[in-house]
Amino acid sequence: MCSPQVAPSPVSRDAGLVEGTELVGAFRGSGYREAPLLVQRADGQLVRLPELLYLVVRLLSEHGGGPARGGDLLAVVARDAAAASDLPLARSHIAYLLDHKLAPLGLTTYTDGTAPELAVHTPFLALKARLQLLGPAATWVVGGLLGWLFHPLAIAVVLAATGFAQWWVFANQNITQAMQDTLVDPAGVLAVLAIAVASTAFHECGHAAGCRYSGAVPGGMGFGIYLVWPAFYTDITDSYRLGRAGRLRTDLGGVYFNALFVVGLVALYAGTGWAPLLIAVLSVNLEIVQQLLPTLRFDGYYIVADAVGIPDLFRYIRPILAHRVLRRPADERLTELKRWPQIVVTVWVLVIVPVLIAELAYLAWQVPTILRADVQEIDRLLAAAADSMHPVLDGLSATARILLLLLPVAGIGAMLWHLARLVWRRAAPLRTPVAALIAGFRHPAPRVRHAAAVSLAVLAGLTFVGAAWAVTARVPEPGRTAAAALPAPRPAAVLPEPLPAPPPPATSAAPTSGTGGRTAGGHEESADDAVATEDRKPTSTRPRPRPAAPTSTNGVTPPPPATPGPPTEAPPPTSQPSTPTCTLLGILFGCP
């Protein structure tokens, strides 16, 4: 085997590993035919290396890897690497590997002693704008205090208690009534939001505890932005040292702690009967369902990734679509996977990609409806807060609910913006829009033709959504806009009919509780009672005796005198009654 021709590089006495670089070893339980070799950088990111580069890093670490050994270190590493790999390696080869392979990855310095810049790799749909709240030392303490909950006996007790608590809530409690009572109570709304934040923080404690119990070292805990949604996070990068079981325990630790949180909420509700606690249980259950979805980078995504032993599933979307849909030869990234992980990842791609496209298209189609509903709900919340007897509390509740209404809209806008930027970058070689499409479809490169096709599809979709938006904005809402646009017809004068007999006095019934209406003077009046009061007329089953009509001397009955009276109002326009909606945690519910 002939050795590669390498230009001699200047060797300094300052060459070596970057301080903080640490060997991780083989990725246990991986889905690759050959287990990846991992090295952890000084900033905590993991780097996957081929066998030869990993051998060089290992020898640099074994021989001291610091700047004090200098050129002698490179010569010793070249000698040992040649003996271990059966390759004719010289000091110049090791210098070349440092300058062109390892230093750009942030693992070693350059041969002239220059420290490399640590390029940060941001995965697709990753958490951004992180702010660390607890350092690794504090997270280690939290994980140690809660790690005993992962003992098999403790897990069995918690799961049994969770199952009983869920059955008791959904089979024996009136969640609809609790929702109505919570929506009309500003303090209850704020309490549900605070409990949701506490549940999310406790979720992250579960990841830290699972990571430490499994034998890895959890990193810091903090706060970040996922797309546009605020989210907590825990750095569990060190869990890649673990096997498949340890990684899955760490991934499931979050929802496991959510289940424990539900048990605590149900116990408090059983002791107090406070309705917001029951809605908080529903909120935590929704969080568990969301976290288990394998679409975005939630816990469900990492569960699938760690189960098959492939760290980044989004990296395989393009090669799988090219191979399975476009019938192109299999990419090298696919051939390096084992058989069953390749099948699982292929199924994941072929299911998740259409689901994400359908969700994005549906959200784009529903943008006008969502905006209109949000505007109406915001107006209602502001008006209710302005007329409230507790302006500060109602104002805080309205502000929190308005933010929850605006976050999904901002998320839709962010996703559309990222998609537009992606399409724009793909179509960068093309100049004008019309010429881009024409030249793109005729371009010999398949990548440019695909970019043109995607651009045309996105342009058509945006045009369709804009047209639908314009049409739905001009179409009046049934029973509301159309009736308000046309003036009511002027009623004709109608003679008053004789009044029926007054109804017998009825016994007053006790007002029913639980309608969730506004309380005024000790009487609770619901919206349904108000509507019924407007349409109620006194009726009687026995007709009132009509007096004899006056007769004239010639036997002709004169016409009754015309008694002027107020004209009767025209009946209101018939329309389908619309139920007002209230929002809680970004979800619209029918409000009382």
Q: Using only the alpha carbons of the chain, give its radius of gyration.
A: 35
Per the structure block, which two tokens stand in for 551?
């007769």
Q: Calculate the alpha carbon distances from 431 to 427, 434, 508, 559 in Å.
A: 8, 9, 79, 89
Element (H, E) at 22: strand 22-26
Q: How many CB atoms lie within 10 A of CB 286?
A: 14
Rounded Cα distance, 63 and 70, in Å: 11
What are the residues facing 584 on neighbouring strands? 587
Q: Yes or no: say if 218 and 43 are a contact pair by the CB < 8 Å rule.
A: no
The DSSP letter of residue 315 is G
Rounded Cα distance, 187 and 397, in Å: 7
What are the residues facing 39 on neighbouring strands? 23, 47
Rounded Cα distance, 385 and 219, in Å: 43
| Among candidate residues 21, 20, 29, the one with its CA nearest the CA of residue 47 | 21
Q: What angle do CA 334, 337, 341 make, to 5 degrees?
A: 110
Per the structure block, which two tokens stand in for 129?
């704008």
Rounded Cα distance, 384 and 377, in Å: 10
Is pTM beyond 0.75 here? no
Q: What angle do CA 557, 561, 563 make, to 5 degrees?
A: 155
Q: Yes or no: say if 430 and 448 are a contact pair by the CB < 8 Å rule.
A: yes
Rounded Cα distance, 423 and 273, in Å: 53
Coil, strand or helix: which one is 301?
helix
The DSSP letter of residue 167 is H
Contacts of 117 (CB under 8 A, 6+ apart): 106
Kindly report the backbone phi and psi dihedral angles of residue 130, in degrees, each rounded to the nearest multiple of 5, phi listed first. -80, 145
Coil, strand or helix: which one is 393?
helix
What are the residues facing 233 on neighbouring strands? 222
Neighbouring C-alpha atoms within 13 Å toward the C-beta of 416: 18
Q: Calculate the alpha carbon distances from 528 to 338, 383, 415, 515, 577 in Å.
A: 63, 20, 41, 9, 11
Give the sign of the dihedral formed by CA 304, CA 308, CA 314, CA 316: negative
The DSSP letter of residue 14 is T
Q: How many CB atoms lie within 10 A of CB 361?
A: 13
Rounded Cα distance, 137 and 219, in Å: 8
Assign 3-class secondary structure to 263-276.
HHHHHHHHHHCCHH
Q: What is the pLDDT of residue 149?
A: 95
Neighbouring C-alpha atoms within 13 Å toward the C-beta of 273: 0
Give the sign of the dihedral formed by CA 44, CA 45, CA 47, CA 53: negative
Note the helical H segments in 215-298.
Answer: 244-272, 275-291
The single-letter code of the amino acid at 258 is: N
Q: pLDDT 10s digit of each residue in the chain, 592 long?
A: 443 443 343 444 457 788 888 888 889 888 998 888 999 888 878 888 889 999 999 988 887 655 444 447 888 888 888 888 888 888 888 889 988 889 888 888 888 878 887 776 667 667 777 788 899 999 999 999 999 999 999 999 999 999 999 999 999 999 999 999 998 888 888 899 899 999 999 999 999 999 999 999 999 999 887 766 778 899 998 899 899 999 999 999 999 999 999 999 999 999 999 999 999 999 999 999 999 999 888 899 999 999 999 988 988 988 999 888 888 888 888 888 999 999 999 999 999 889 888 887 887 787 778 778 878 888 887 887 777 777 777 777 777 777 777 776 776 676 667 667 766 666 555 445 555 556 665 666 676 666 767 776 776 776 766 665 555 544 444 443 333 333 344 444 444 455 555 555 544 444 334 434 434 444 333 334 333 333 333 344 444 444 444 444 444 445 555 555 555 444 444 434 333 444 444 444 444 4
Coil, strand or helix: which one is 573?
coil
